[in-house]
Amino acid sequence: MTTPLTPAQLSRQALSDFITLSALWGSSFLFMHIAAVELGAIPTAGLRVGFAALFLVPILLWRKQWPALRRHYKPILFVGLLNSAIPFALLSWAVLSITTGLASILNATVPLFGALVAWLWLKDRPSPSRTLGLAIGFMGVALLAWRNGNGMAAFKPGGSGWAVLACLGATLCYGIAASFAKRFLTGVPPLATATGSQIGATLGLALPTLWMWPATLPSLRAWGAIAGLAVLCTGIAYILYFRLIENAGPARALAVTFLVPVFALAYGVMVLGESITLWMLGCGVVIVLGTALSTGLLKFPTRRAFKP
């Protein structure tokens, strides 16, 4: 029988999981770029979810959660298309045109789109503070896309503004998937949802991956990037993420999104020689501020807080 962790041990574990998860998800943009250069966007996404499913299925069976997946397989498989297949393909395509740092900053808008979709679909009306956060966050995105669309270093030779829209399309998919899961998958064990969603994404991308398979055999470097994406950035990352939700709560787990660009920018500079501009950093701060407000992680003090 496992001895329950003390509050201090849970706190240390949560902090360790938080930093590790941020580092893993930050590296996903680097791995996507390395793999997509040789494999293309669709095969990169297809192999990522396929190997992630193979990694997670034995864990699911060991935890005896296969019955939960079987009971709810239809919505779980569908959410895999929204939460993995489509956004992974869009992001893999985007990092061929823009730097991994810019892509990671745009990806930080996931909670922003999540709050917007919840407002429009689930009628989860935000407070004035959250509404202001939505406005600030989207202003940061607009400024980032506008300035970088005018030839700044965040665009690679031959890149276009469509890559920015692809990143935003991916984050919109994440936002829709979150509301879909909240409405149709509440109470389903997270591991069953994670594993089933990767199976659904694999089924959705199987034929496109075969159709778009490159004529040249990928190098070991590309296969290593795929392995990193599947095992580290998807399989292990999911386990850490759900454990973080359990130990620290969903609000703190959501804050991982804010630290991911720090690691992604560092990896891009060290491995790919990408450049970071003050404009990118400034817009990133604006986006993070808006996201923190829109999700309720940051709140303006009320008048009552100043009363004696």
SS3 155: strand
- Whether 121 is in a domain gets the answer yes
More confident residue, 86 or 249: 86
Concatenated DSSP letters for 257-282?
A: HHHHHHHHHHHHHHHH-----HHHHH
pLDDT tier, 219 (very low <50, low <70, confident <90, very high otherwise): very high
Average pLDDT over residues 243-258: 69
What are 6-23's pLDDT values in tens digits? 656 556 777 788 889 889
Q: What's the whole-number mean pLDDT along residues 212-237? A: 93
Q: Could you tell me which of 290, 272, 274 has the C-alpha nearest to residue 282?
A: 290
Model confidence pTM above 0.85: no
**CA 158 from centre of chain:** 26
pLDDT digits (tens, 9 = 90+) for 107-139: 888 877 777 787 788 777 767 777 787 788 778
Task: Give the confidence band of 76 by pLDDT, cuts at 50, 70, 90.
Answer: very high
Within a domain: 306: no
Do the Cβ atoms of 129 and 293 come closer than 8 Å? yes
Q: What pLDDT score does 250 carry?
A: 60
Distances, alpha carbon 85 to alpha carbons 78, 215, 298, in Å: 10, 23, 31
In the chain, how many domains are there?
Answer: 1
Domain assignment of residue 308, yes or no: no
DSSP state, residue 6: P
If DSSP codes are grouped into helix, strand and coil, which group holds residue 98?
Answer: strand
Distance CA 129, CA 290 (A): 10
Q: Name the DSSP letter for residue 82.
A: I
Is the pLDDT at 92 greater than 80, yes or no?
yes
Sole residue written with tokens 């389903």? 188
CB 113 within 8 A of CB 237: no
Helix spans in 110-249 (H): 110-121, 128-148, 162-184, 190-211, 220-227, 237-248
The rounded Cα 4 to chain-centroid distance in angstroms is 30
pLDDT at 154: 54
Answer whether residue 296 shows pLDDT above 90. no
- Residue 307 maps to a domain: no
18 located within any domain:
yes
Specify if 165 maps to a domain.
yes
Bridge partners, 98 (sequence order): 155
Residue 245, domain extent: 7-298
2 belongs to a structural domain? no
Whether the Cβ atoms of residue 251 and residue 295 lie closer than 8 Å to each other: yes
Residue 304 belongs to some domain of the structure: no
265-282 pLDDT, tens per residue? 889 889 888 877 787 788
